[in-house]
């Protein structure tokens, strides 16, 4: 019995050791930076780094843009993913199923070259806009920059989320749908009373994945703009990256600590909800 107690940990151990050495231990050891001042002989600085960080304009801009991106991107991804998943669960759609996962397979660098060709000044989209008498739109550096990033984020990840939801929806018994499938108003009731309650657990899983992928938008931003993104696309990852280059380790560690605390808090709420759902469903 005593041996059994730790069996699970033995399985987790190889992964835990690696993660421990390269991420967990380094992260905890860097927390000290957030509370100290000076290089060489560091002295305790209390919350001075935090106060300074909150007054930093670049940091404020980065936090604002990151939050706006998440607030615009993640809910849209989850809702559209659910709707698309319902459609996919209903029809076979072999070609569409295959096509919507292509943006995930296409390397970011290649996809960006493609998008730059499609959305660029001389691309077909601007050609269409001009055809209808509109002005040329600068999708990448103008006021549209963040909206364009949200669009790229959606196209890249929507397929994955839709397949996840399609799996959950198609596991519902068919008779449920037939009992409702008469007209469009009962279709909406079916969505609200049958589909939504049964995919609640999946929604949380999708939210966690979406949040993870939303932080990976750095790849697109870096691919498009290098180290200097336009104001609209300047996010926390760039703030931290640039402070790393400038050797502002204390400022960077303070920002990192706050970010990790934020993620942990959001996740704690998610897990608490998930346990509640699991308890209600009696699993």
Site for another protein in 120-179 (CB under 8 A): 123, 155, 158-160, 163-164, 166-168, 171
Q: Which of 50, 249, 273, 277 binds another protein (CB under 8 A)?
A: 249
Using rule CB under 8 A, residue 180 touches another protein: no
Which one among 1, 2, 9, 178 touches another protein, defined by CB under 8 A?
Answer: 9
**From residue 194 to residue 223, what is the string marking binding to another protein with x (rule CB under 8 A)?**
-----------x--x--xx--xx-xx--xx
Nearer to another protein, 100 or 133 (CB): 100
Ordered DSSP codes for 202-254: HHHHHHHHHHHHHHTTHHHHHHHHTT---GGG--HHHHHHHHHHTT-HHHHHH
Q: Which range touches another protein (CB under 8 A), out of 25-33, 47-55, 67-75, 133-141?
A: 25-33
* Phi then psi dihedrals of residue 266, to 5 deg: -60, -45
Instruction: Provide the minimum distance between the beta carbon of 212 and another protein in the complex, in angstroms, as a whole number.
Output: 5
> Residues in contact with another protein, total (CB under 8 A)?
98
Alpha carbon distance 58, 65 (integer Å): 11
Q: What residues pair up with 36 in beta bridges, in sequence order?
A: 44
Phi-psi region of 223 (alpha: psi -120 to 50; beta: other; left: phi over 0): alpha
Q: Which one of 39, 44, 105, 133 is in contact with another protein (CB under 8 A)?
A: 105
Report in angstroms how near the CB of residue 52 gets to another protein at its nearest: 17
Q: Which residues pair with 44 in a beta bridge?
A: 36
Please name which of 251, 253, 247, 219 lies closest in space to residue 233, comparing C-alpha atoms: 219
CA torsion angle for 150, 23, 256, 236 (degrees, to 10)? -20
Among 67, 71, 117, 196, binds another protein (CB under 8 A): 117
The contact pattern for another protein, residues 50-89, with x = CB under 8 A and - = no contact, is: ---------------------------------xx-xxx-
Give the count of beta carbons closer than 10 Å to the beta carbon of residue 254: 26
| Nearer residue to another protein within complex by CB, 48 or 191 | 191
Q: Which two tokens stand for residue 135?
A: 């002005």
State in angstroms the smallest separation of the CB of 162 from another protein. 9
């Amino acid at each position: 019995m005593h041996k059994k107690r730790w069996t699970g940990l033995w399985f987790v151990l190889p992964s835990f050791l690696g993660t421990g050495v390269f991420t967990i231990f380094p992260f905890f050891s860097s927390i000290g930076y957030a509370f100290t001042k000076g290089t060489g002989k560091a002295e305790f600085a209390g919350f001075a780094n935090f106060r300074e960080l909150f007054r930093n304009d670049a940091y404020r801009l980065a936090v604002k843009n990151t939050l706006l991106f998440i607030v615009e991107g993640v809910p849209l991804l989850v809702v559209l993913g659910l709707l698309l998943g319902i459609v996919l669960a209903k029809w076979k759609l072999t070609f569409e199923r295959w096509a919507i996962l292509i943006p995930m397979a296409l390397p970011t660098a290649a996809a960006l070259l493609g998008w730059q060709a499609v959305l660029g000044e001389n691309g077909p989209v601007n050609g269409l806009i001009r055809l209808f008498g509109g002005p040329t739109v600068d999708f990448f550096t103008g006021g549209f920059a963040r909206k364009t990033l949200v669009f790229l984020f959606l196209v890249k990840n929507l397929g994955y989320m839709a397949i996840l939801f399609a799996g959950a929806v198609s596991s519902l018994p068919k008779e449920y749908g037939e009992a409702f499938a008469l007209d469009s108003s009962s279709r909406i009731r079916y969505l609200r009373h049958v589909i939504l309650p049964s995919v609640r657990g999946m929604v949380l899983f999708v939210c966690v994945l979406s949040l993870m992928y939303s932080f990976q938008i750095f790849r697109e931003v870096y691919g498009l703009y290098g180290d200097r993104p336009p104001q609209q696309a300047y996010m926390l990852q760039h703030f931290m990256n640039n402070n790393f280059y400038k050797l502002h380790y204390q400022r960077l560690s303070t920002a990192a600590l706050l970010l990790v605390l934020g993620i942990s808090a959001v996740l704690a709420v998610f897990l608490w909800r998930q346990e509640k759902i699991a308890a209600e469903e009696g699993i």
